[in-house]
A and B are shown apart, each in its own frame.
Chain A
Amino acid sequence: MIDQIVFYFFAALAIVSAILVVTRRNVVQSAIFLITALLATAGIFLELHAEFLFIVQVILYAGGIMVLFVFVIMLINMDVSLHQIQFNRQWWLGLLLALVVGAELTIAIAIGRSHLSLGEPAPASALEPSTQLVGKVLFSEYMLPFEIASILLLVAMIGAVVMAKKKI
């Protein structure tokens, strides 16, 4: 029962924060609500017994990527954008199509719920201790993607520094 309270609380927080991210006029408020949505997602990870992923989400996403966003928002003068039109001209078409995609996915989940074996999840002890299991998988089966991800991060670092320089 505690499971359910935690899940519904974090799910509601995530959905409300996500809606507020997309609809606020002030970009700083959008960023703050995105931080809340990311922390709610971290809560969902914790509820799924993925402790390592919970803390990686908090450190990297909420504590790293969002700090980057907030830095950029504060360095760029956004006063002009408060008075512009927020939504583009074909917003109704975009909304309609997104809702159609959402409806498709809902129907897929609802129908497939009984056909796929979405039954009892594995016992929580199968995922303990989370850090060691993730480490084992990451360094044995997924070693090549791990190395490629490190090269990707190097390229992204160089790219970001070059893009933001005043004179190359």
Chain B
Amino acid sequence: MLMNLIHFVISIWVPLVCALIIVAVLPLVAGYIVLMERKVMADMQARLGPMRVGPHGLLQPIADALKLLIKEDIIPDEADKVIFWFAPLISVTAAMLAMSALAIGPWFQIAELNVGLLFIVGISALGIFGIVLGGWSSNSHYSLLGALRSAAQLVSYETAAGMAIVGGLLIAGTLSTREIVEAQSDYGWWFGLVTPVGFFVYIVASIAETNRAPFDLPEAESELVAGYMTEYSGFRWALYFLAEYTNMVVVASIATTLFLGGWLRPFAGTAAFNFLDYVPSLLMLGVGGYCFYRAPKQPVKVQSLFMMAVGLLFVVVAIVLAVPLIPAVDELLPGLMPGLHGAFWFLLKVGLYIYVFMWLRFTFPRYRFDQLMRLGWQFLIPLSIVNVMGVGMALVLHRHWGWGHLPAFGLTTLLTLAVAGWLGWESEKKDKEHVFVGEA
């Protein structure tokens, strides 16, 4: 029986290593996404952001993590201690578990489930419990109201996000994350271009799913103090924050897999665009060069050494990415090119999606809660249902009646946009009517 167990462990060591990498690396990545957000916020507000802690603020997340770890752990007096302790763990576990079905490149996937995409949606639904139980166990009015509002928002937009995903899945024909990307490679076009309305609905619904602005009423500072996170301090709050940013990465990864082509290069099929294969290395070289350029200008000697080390790291990554481009290496190890470049393109697309999230955060004012619910239930859900019907109709036109791709999908996209315009006009009218929030 021990031999059986050892055989089993040997057969799963690759997913195990990938899982360990994710669990170890993800908190660091989430911390650097926080730094990215502060830098992007600063850039859009015409200032510089954190510059002091490391060169250009690069060590800021580590300083923040240390500070949060050494803070005092305050638990409210009448709080239910077990659930108070347990709630952030549910959020973090759900967020990290959802990362396990993603295919970050053709090589890096922990579990190839044949219901992969639905698994990620379902596990994200379990994260709602972390929020509700956290808000309830704090024994505070603000926390409970914030938690219930947040959970109501999440449940509403989860339906819209799910239906938008179904629109893309109809074309893909499969739920497995790896096969969806391969279907996009066979189809020739990214599914975000084939169902733009579904992609738009998914973007909006995913912003609401992760409690980001402009849908961040439950955790806005001027509203309910901090919503369900009010009574959490120190490391527990850091766990909630980590869960929120991991959710952002998960949601961006779903959108990348289903709508943005996964690990495929732009124009993957056409040979005319093969010069795009040099873009990864050139990009990394450019960033490394910028680091070397800024290194002598740092005020402190240690910081310039650190900056040069970062520049060197980027140059090494550029060289690693350039290795598969040599024809000799490509013949020897044919899987190297899709593996490395695929991971790069996937991470680049995820990064761009998260940048769009941050861009939207610093552009739009916040939605009021009833406006939020009206947008979810009376605009996005009917629109996503009509989108599913439209995609189905387009597939029937294309496969059974023999229309081409462009006429079929173009026609249904126009029809769906017409319905969207009508729905938007209707819900605007209703918003202007109900100035008072009357009795339900």
Q: Which residues of A are interface residues toward B (Cβ below 8 A)?
A: 1-2, 28, 32, 35, 51-52, 54-55, 58-59, 62-64, 66-67, 70-71, 74-75, 128-131, 165-167
Contacts and interface: CB of A to CB of B under 8 A. Distances in A.
The 8 closest A-B pairs by CB, nearest first: A63-B125, A59-B122, A58-B122, A55-B118, A51-B115, A55-B115, A1-B4, A55-B122
A61 to B, nearest CB: 10
A137 B273 CA distance: 45
Interface in B260-318: none
A70 B119 CA distance: 22
Interface stretch (B53-61, B128-136, B340-348): B128-136
B113 interface: yes
B113 A166 contact: no
B350 to A, nearest CB: 23
A149 to B, nearest CB: 17
Given A59-B121, A62-B126, A71-B148, A1 B132 contact: no
Contacts of A52: 115, 118
B118 A59 contact: yes
Contact of B144 (A28, A63, A74): A74
Contacts of A54: 115
A131 B169 CA distance: 12
A54 B128 CA distance: 19
Nearest to A75: B148
Given A67-B155, A74-B148, A131 B132 contact: no
Contacts of B5: 1
A52 B176 CA distance: 12
Nearest to A54: B115
Interface in B1-56: 1, 4-5, 8
Contacts of A51: 113-115
Q: Which of B129, B151, B155 has the most CB of A within 10 A?
A: B129
B114 A129 contact: yes
B331 interface: no
Given A55-B118, A74-B136, A131-B175, A63 B439 contact: no
Interface of B: 1, 4-5, 8, 80, 83, 113-115, 118-119, 121-123, 125-126, 128-129, 132-133, 136, 144, 148, 151, 155, 175, 439-440
Contact of B114 (A32, A63, A131, A166): A131
B135 to A, nearest CB: 8
Contacts of A64: 125, 155
A146 to B, nearest CB: 16
Nearest to A165: B440
Given A55-B119, A58-B123, A64-B125, 11 more contacts: A35-B129, A55-B122, A59-B122, A62-B126, A63-B122, A66-B129, A67-B132, A70-B129, A70-B132, A131-B175, A165-B440
Main secondary structure of the interface of B (DSSP, over half): helix
A130 B115 contact: yes
16 contacts: A1-B4, A1-B5, A28-B80, A28-B136, A35-B129, A51-B113, A51-B115, A52-B118, A55-B122, A62-B125, A63-B128, A67-B151, A70-B132, A75-B148, A128-B114, A167-B439
Contacts of B148: 71, 74-75
Nearest to A26: B80
B247 to A, nearest CB: 14
A70 B113 CA distance: 30
Residue of B113, B122, B126, B175 with highest tally of chain A CB at under 10 A? B122
A32 B132 CA distance: 12
A59 B1 CA distance: 36
Contact of A71 (B4, B113, B151, B175): B151
Contacts of A58: 119, 122-123, 125-126
A1 B5 CA distance: 9
A57 to B, nearest CB: 9
B132 A71 contact: yes
Given A2-B8, A28-B136, A67 B128 contact: yes
A147 B148 CA distance: 33
B112 to A, nearest CB: 12
Contacts of B121: 59
B209 to A, nearest CB: 13
A67 B133 CA distance: 10
B1 A1 contact: yes
Contacts of B123: 58
A108 B346 CA distance: 56
A124 to B, nearest CB: 12
Nearest to A35: B129
B69 to A, nearest CB: 28
A52 to B, nearest CB: 6
Contacts of B83: 28, 32
Contacts of A71: 132, 148, 151
A62 B5 CA distance: 31
A63 B126 contact: yes
